[in-house]
Amino acid sequence: MTVPFFPPDLFEDDRQQLMDLVHDIGTAPEQRFLLGEHTARFEEALRDSLGAADVVACSSGTSALTLVLHAMGIGPGDEVVVPAYGCAPLANTVAGLRATPVFADIDPWTIVADPDQVERSITDRTRAIMPAHMFSVMADMPRMSEIARRHGVRLVEDSAVAQGGVLDGRPAGTWGEAGVFSFVQVKTFGTAGEGGAVVTMNPELARTVRSLRNHGQRERFVYPRTGYNSRFDEVLAAFQLHRLRGFPDLLERRARIADHYTERFTPLAERGVLPPPPGRNGRCFYVYSLLVEERDELKRYLADRGIESHVYYPLPLPHQAAFTRFAPAGRRWPHAESASRRQLAIPVHPRLTDAQVEHIADTVCAYAGLSRSR
């Protein structure tokens, strides 16, 4: 049995619908391929499902972060506190605006930014804190919200991996002044290409983001500000609208697989294989990530038995050559460093069969048994 990490047939059930949409939009009289009626309807559907003030679709999750930070006026001389462990856009988007990313260490188990470390990183130059949800765990947004209020800084929620996650009854993306989603194909609501969205409770911020995503236009060919080309594709907007009604079922399948893994793997913690915390509150099930003392050994063991796995972020952000200039000399981020050595993701996508799920779980447990016997 071979189990791929990313399913090659992710959109097989919707293939004909996608082909029909390409034809219909490509032959429509208006020839509107960007920011048309489908994008507007998609934004409205997301806005209503989230209870947000507005949703602005754009070209990617990374672009969404840039648009938000730019709209907030963050730039040279400003600091933004970000997790020391995560995807490059956390630091790239800040540095791209000539502001300074300040790295805070993470919780050693959940792998999300530690609120205490975030608060210790705030200075009189801090303009925003930007926690990120990671893998299958949402950041501690109640604490982050309280820290942002107490220090008078803005809260940007990097929820790129977390669409569909709910913490204490509140959807991911709605905790901060703005949140973002990514629709790249491997995300929980990924599409057949690239895309993203800004979610906000601030209508004025949304208006600015809307202008920025389309070269700074207020109306056609009128530019009150400079901006970006971050427009959303009409075919993908229509495709995501079609898929939106099936999204809860896809999430539930991911959640059931994750529940089963956690039940099987929780007893393995003393054998050097640590699963994420149990439960569904504050979970997003984008990636099921283990922390493994002998990570590379388990990766090889899985591969030998036909199971693909994936190492995310083999270096903490402040150790990446692109960002070392933002890392103070002598500073350490021990939990981020440990996660980089130990993290290993196993398949959790909704196309997995029950037999494949059992094969993965049995193989990880077998490895842990061998590991203990050595």
- Measured CA to CA, the distance from residue 84 to residue 130 in angstroms comes to 11
Residue among 127, 133, 154, 187 flagged as catalytic: 187
pTM of structure? 0.95
Tally of domains within the chain: 2
Of the candidates 133, 206, 199, the one whose C-alpha atom is nearest the C-alpha of residue 166 is 133
More confident residue, 284 or 131: 131
The last residue of a domain, from among 244, 270, 287: 244
**What integer pLDDT is reported at residue 41 of this predicted model?**
97
Domain that holds residue 92: 12-104+112-244
User: 228, 244, 260 — which closes off a domain?
Assistant: 244
- Dihedral angle at the C-alpha atoms of 236, 50, 119, 152, nearest 10 degrees? 110
Whether 299 is a known active-site residue: answer no
Same domain, yes or no, for 91 and 235?
yes
Residues 186 and 204 in one domain: yes
Last residue of a domain, one of 222, 244, 266: 244
The pLDDT > 70 percentage for the chain reads: 99
pLDDT at 371: 55
CA 4/CA 253 separation, integer angstroms? 17
Reported as a pLDDT band with limits 50, 70 and 90, residue 370 is low
Q: What is the pLDDT of residues 73-127, one digit of tens each?
A: 999 999 999 999 999 999 999 999 999 999 999 999 999 999 999 999 999 999 9
pLDDT in tens, 21-45: 999 999 998 889 899 999 999 999 9
Q: Identify whether the C-beta of residue 164 lies closer than 8 Å to the C-beta of residue 247.
A: yes
Q: What is the pLDDT of residue 373?
A: 46
Indicate the DSSP class of residue 324.
G
Give 374's pLDDT tier (boundaries 50, 70, 90).
Answer: very low
Q: What is the CATH number of the domain that holds 303?
A: 3.90.1150.10
Of the candidates 139, 165, 94, 111, the one whose C-alpha atom is nearest the C-alpha of residue 322 is 94
List pLDDT tens digits, range 195-243. Answer: 999 999 999 999 999 999 999 998 888 889 999 999 999 999 999 999 9
Residues 271 and 358 in one domain: yes
Residues 72, 200: one domain?
Answer: yes
